[in-house]
């Protein structure tokens, strides 16, 4: 908030493995005093865009909320499906979003993902992917697609202290 660059004229594409509760987005937008942000859903693989009662939409809602907060003037396209290949391919064939985000990881990686990521590069699209939840020095496996050299893996690390305010 308070910066001159708002994302006006930009389209952000979000990769999601599930639907979200629209009301969660509305409440966040109101609480953060954000302007109306255009959010469009692209439903794949038989998705209806309606979460089941009691469903957890934490990852999906968080992705939308953060995109709205960082670029309240942008248009957001939410690609929902259950096949990573279908979602990534549709983001490439639509070629509307030049900034795309995926906060999910999966294993094993699909061999044909790299050809889609090369298509992104040729079209001027950038895919930013969460590097994982375990921190930089975790012994956990680095999940696809963060391990691909044709995307940008983004993330932080874990911090352990000896106690509150301690070293």
Q: How confident is the model at residue 157 (pLDDT cuts 50, 70, 90)?
A: low
Q: CB neighbours (10 Å) of residue 3?
A: 6
Rounded mean pLDDT of 10-18?
96
Give the position of tokens 């874990």: 158
Give mean pLDDT, residues 22-36.
Answer: 93
Say if residue 10 is preceded by a cis peptide, omega within 30 of 0: no
Distant-in-sequence, close-in-space partners of 160: CB < 8 Å, separation ≥ 6: none
CA nearest 90: which of 42, 56, 52, 32? Answer: 42
Distances (CA, A) of 43 to 93, 128, 131: 14, 21, 25
**Per-residue pLDDT averaged across 29-37, rounded?**
92
Q: What is the pLDDT of residue 141?
A: 66
**What are 113-135's pLDDT values in tens digits?**
999 999 999 999 999 998 876 65
CB distance 109 to 148 below 8 Å: yes
Residue 92: pLDDT over 90: yes
What span, in angstroms and rounded, lies between the C-alpha atoms of 98 and 121?
Answer: 10
| Residue 9: pLDDT over 90 | yes
**More confidently predicted of 142 and 51:** 51
Alpha-carbon Rg for the chain in angstroms: 17
């Amino acid at each position: 908030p308070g910066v001159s660059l708002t994302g006006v004229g930009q389209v952000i594409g979000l990769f999601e493995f599930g639907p979200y509760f629209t009301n969660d987005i509305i409440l966040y937008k109101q609480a953060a005093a954000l302007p109306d942000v255009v959010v469009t859903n692209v439903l794949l693989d038989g998705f209806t865009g309606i979460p089941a009662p009691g469903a957890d939409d934490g990852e999906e809602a968080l992705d939308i909320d953060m995109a709205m907060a960082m670029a309240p003037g942008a248009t957001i396209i939410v690609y929902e499906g259950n096949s990573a290949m279908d979602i990534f391919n549709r983001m490439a064939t639509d070629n509307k979003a030049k900034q795309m985000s995926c906060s999910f990881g999966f294993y094993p990686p699909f061999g044909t993902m790299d050809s889609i990521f090369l298509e992104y590069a040729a079209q001027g699209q950038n895919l930013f992917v969460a590097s994982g939840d375990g921190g930089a020095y975790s012994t956990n496996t680095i999940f696809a697609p963060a391990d691909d050299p044709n995307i940008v893996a983004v993330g932080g690390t874990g911090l352990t202290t000896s106690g509150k305010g301690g070293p």
